Structure 1
Amino acid sequence: MTPISDSPTRRTALVTGGSGFVGGHLIARLLKAGWQVRAIGRSASSRAAVAALGAEPHHADLSDPAAIERAMEGVDTVFHVAAHFKLWGPLRVFRAMNVDGTRNVVTAAERTGVRRVVYVSAAAVVMGHPEPQQRVTEDLPMQRMGFAPYSASKADAEELLRAASGRRKGLSTVAVRPPFIWGPDMPMLDHMVETVKAGQFRWVAGGGQSMSTCHVENLCHALILAADQGQDGAAYFVSDNVDTTLKSFLTRLLATRSVQPGNRAVPFGIAWTMAGIMGAVWRLLRLKGEPPLTRQMLRLMGKDFTVDISRARKDLGYAPVLSPDDGLRMMAQPAFHACGSASATGLRQDALNASAEA
């Protein structure tokens, strides 16, 4: 496939969700590669965060098509990262951000002459009823389970995005599907640490289920490759290409914070029933926050789930740039826990450079 632009140094990217975990890493990587980077934010704090990373901030909300269009003027490639990721909540909230927001991004791209939209989808879009899934490929159909509003809304958003490929001459779209995303400053780790310290952590089914993971730097690498090499309208699974088990990986991840999760476990069937009861109580009483256990959570992590990245290797030339061992070693360094996000980005890049030069 012919590259989208003759010179990467002249290319301009727009990143949605740039103040978030994945978006912040992507901005840093794009800037290092010579891109000009814009990022949208609906709040002053979000815009300040992306500006601190070196991106040009634009005031826009995914529910405001006109503002998105203004931010996209003159943009070559859009990296659509923003999403509503929770393990609980009404479907309408997920659809408003994940589906309607994606529709507005695609419409703005069509109107402003953007050449490619690269979308951060989710490996979970192929998860149906709870059952083991090993080495899944892009040939599997997407699923929409009523107990999984996040996965269902991401599947609808991906379908909408991929259908737009070729609808306007010159516009192409690509979806990248990572499994469990991890790395320095990942928000989920803070929650897991709190759960362990509160004595509420249990291994579902003993934690022996196999899983694929994707370090945030590997995901960003795949997204940038997809901007040039991805086939129009295609979707790609990407991962660290080293499958593990839930217990092994989370134990090592928590160890970077000097936390030990212990061995207490609960059978999957009991956990599934408990999650159903909790969900019913939360809905009936309209309780705030999330239940301690949800069926969306159990579906994501309670059964074997690994992905096959053969298509990404073939089409994108994708290979992980960081191994799980190196990524975990970097996270265990005290410097990662003692500085802000902008400084941490620099430290991460220094470590990546050292790894590449070794």
Structure 2
Amino acid sequence: MSSSQQIFLTGGSGYVGRNLITSFIDQGHAVVALARSDAAARAVEQRGARAYRADLLSGDLAAGMHGCDAVVHAAADTDHVGGGACQHRVNVDGTRRVIDAAGRAGVARVLLLSTESVLASGRALVGVDERAPLPRRAIGGYSRSKAEAERIALAANTENLAVSVLRPRFVWGRDDTTALPQLCEAARNGQLAWISGGNYLTSTTHIATLCAAVSAALRYARAGEVYFVADQQPVEFRAFITALLETQGVAAPARSVPRALLWALASVGDALAAVSGGRLRGPLTRQQFAASAVEVTLDTRKARRELHFLDAITREQGLDELRVAARTHGAVRAT
């Protein structure tokens, strides 16, 4: 990405978006961030972006993109429980509107932030790379909607509009307002348990490394290509979650639940939700199971080779950041 570009960003008030704004501003770029509320506008303006007030699903997005060199589409409904029609509208219809608006505004490049969950099936994903096919049947609404969003985005790739996709896994680190507060709250309330001991591997993506990968992708990503992004080395799931909780002064659980039992409960719960229109649910969904109950490790060599990016921070440095922040500002709480 050349100097002094102007970037249009969706999802700017979210965890990933806020950090992307800071990263872009620090590099000397101007950021126009989509904001559908006063609170969202304040959040992006505090980070140095110019807020463009519009709704993802109904606003005139092209008007906000005029004069921009690139669009980063980070907005998403990440619900792993309910999902449904609302999630489809945000993730699928929203992506379609962003891509269409970018084309009409004459933007040269669009980068879609997706997820490794497009491959989720409930089975382990061990060292998977970008050649792995999408499953014939999505395991849940989140996977289904994000896979469809990828199809829409990549189908729009043309000589005039270069579209690429990044798939991070388990984003974590400073300023986390999503996964870490929820983990801490579950642990404090006795609702967290290991699945068959939790001794399987997982890939993770520190927020600083994701920001570095996004900047690199805007410069080097090949049009029409998908890239997995993650910290270079996977880590044991139980050890990593234990370390995350420790940074907040929260004790990790000791109890463990058999994987087969949880899969059965998730399958029954999903069936109940389907026949009851969502009124009845089990203790977890198959979407949640696939995200945390089996090994999910990614081969990121394609991204590292083609995008020329390195990890921005080590895992231990990232954990130290969280410890310092907790001592300074207090442990995170779910909102």
> TM bucket by the smaller chain?
over 0.9
Give, in angstroms, the shift of residue 285 of structure 1: 5.4
- Partner residue of 2:16? 22
- 1:107-145 deviation per Cα after TM superposition (whole angstroms, max 9, x unaligned): 0000011010011110111223x2222111101112364
- Partner residue of 1:327? 318
Distance 2:216 2:314 in 1: 18
**Farther-moved stretch of structure 1 (91-100 vs 215-224):** 91-100
CA contact (8 A) 1:25 1:216 kept: yes
| Paired residues for 1:135-174 under 5 Å | 135-143=127-135, 145-166=137-158, 169-174=159-164
Q: Structure 2 vs 1, CA of residues 195 and 288 (structure 1 numbering), >3 Å: closer, same or farther?
A: farther
State yes or no: 1:74 paired with 2:67: yes
SS of 1:8's partner is coil
Q: How many residues align?
A: 330
Aligned counterpart for 2:169 among listed residues 179, 182, 189: 179
Q: 1:71 is matched by which residue type in structure 2?
A: G
CA contact (8 A) 1:211 1:304 kept: yes
Aligned counterpart for 2:204 among listed residues 206, 209, 213: 213
Q: 2:96 is matched by which residue type in structure 1?
A: R
Give, in angstroms, the shift of residue 185 of structure 1: 2.8
Q: 2:33 is matched by which residue type in structure 1?
A: A
Aligned counterpart for 1:122 among listed residues 107, 111, 115: 115
**Farther-moved stretch of structure 1 (303-312 vs 140-149):** 140-149
- Partner residue of 1:36? 30
Aligned counterpart for 2:184 among listed residues 171, 190, 193: 193
Q: Structure 2 vs 1, CA of residues 291 and 34 (structure 1 numbering), >3 Å: closer, same or farther?
A: farther
CA contact (8 A) 1:183 1:216 kept: yes
Aligned counterpart for 1:258 among listed residues 249, 254, 270: 249
Give, in angstroms, the shift of residue 327 of structure 1: 0.4
- Partner residue of 1:52? 46
SS of 1:18's partner is coil
**Farther-moved stretch of structure 1 (140-149 vs 250-259):** 140-149
State yes or no: 1:240 paired with 2:234: no
SS of 2:179's partner is helix
- Partner residue of 1:344? none
Q: Structure 2 vs 1, CA of residues 335 and 26 (structure 1 numbering), >3 Å: closer, same or farther?
A: same
Distance 1:289 1:192 in 2: 24
Distance 1:331 1:184 in 2: 6
Distance 2:111 2:234 in 1: 25
State the identity %: 33
Q: 1:46 is matched by which residue type in structure 2?
A: A
State yes or no: 1:113 paired with 2:103: no
CA contact (8 A) 1:87 1:290 kept: no
Q: 1:61 is matched by which residue type in structure 2?
A: D
Q: Structure 2 vs 1, CA of residues 300 and 233 (structure 1 numbering), >3 Å: closer, same or farther?
A: same
- 1:14-66 deviation per Cα after TM superposition (whole angstroms, max 9, x unaligned): 110000000000000000000011101111111111011110001111112x5
Q: CA RMSD in A?
A: 2.0
In structure 1, runs of 5+ residues without a counterpart are 342-358
Give, in angstroms, the shift of residue 334 of structure 1: 3.8
SS of 2:77's partner is coil
Q: 1:37 is matched by which residue type in structure 2?
A: V
Q: TM-score, normalised by structure 2?
A: 0.93
**Farther-moved stretch of structure 1 (287-296 vs 105-114):** 287-296
- 1:286-325 deviation per Cα after TM superposition (whole angstroms, max 9, x unaligned): 6679754221011111111100111011110021111111
Q: TM-score, normalised by structure 1?
A: 0.87
